[in-house]
Amino acid sequence: MNPEFAVELLKNMMFQAVTVAAPILLTGMVIGLGISLFQAVTSIHEQTLTFVPKALGVVGLLIVILPWLVRTLSEYAVAVIEKMPQMVH
């Protein structure tokens, strides 16, 4: 395996990781920002108020995007497996 091929493989892996993780992280961030604004306006500083909506939002999003997530990860795995003969050279 030459260095260019290894760098390309790592670049694709990192892009795939960001692509898969971004919707989940953005959902948690947006929900957290909304709850923080609500807490600042109402002066309610309850710790469980931040956790439960984030958890429900992320779980709901995972249920919605699970088919896309599985399809994306399996396509990436197939692409890496197909490149294995090139890794030997």
pLDDT digits (tens, 9 = 90+) for 34-60: 999 999 899 888 878 889 999 999 999
Rounded CA separation 21/25 (Å): 6
pLDDT surpassing 80 at residue 89 = no
Provide the residue count of the chain.
89
Q: Which helix (H) or strand (E) holds 76?
A: helix 47-82
Domain count for the chain, please give it. 1
In angstroms, the CA 45 to CA 34 distance is 14
For the chain, the straight-line distance linking the first and the last C-alpha, in angstroms and rounded, comes to 6
User: How far apart, in whole angstroms, are the C-alpha atoms of residue 49 and residue 47?
Assistant: 5
Distance CA 53, CA 72 (A): 27
Domain that holds residue 33: 3-88
Task: Report yes or no: 54 and 32 within 8 Å, Cβ to Cβ.
Answer: yes
Q: What are the pLDDT digits (tens) for 65-80? A: 999 999 999 999 999 9
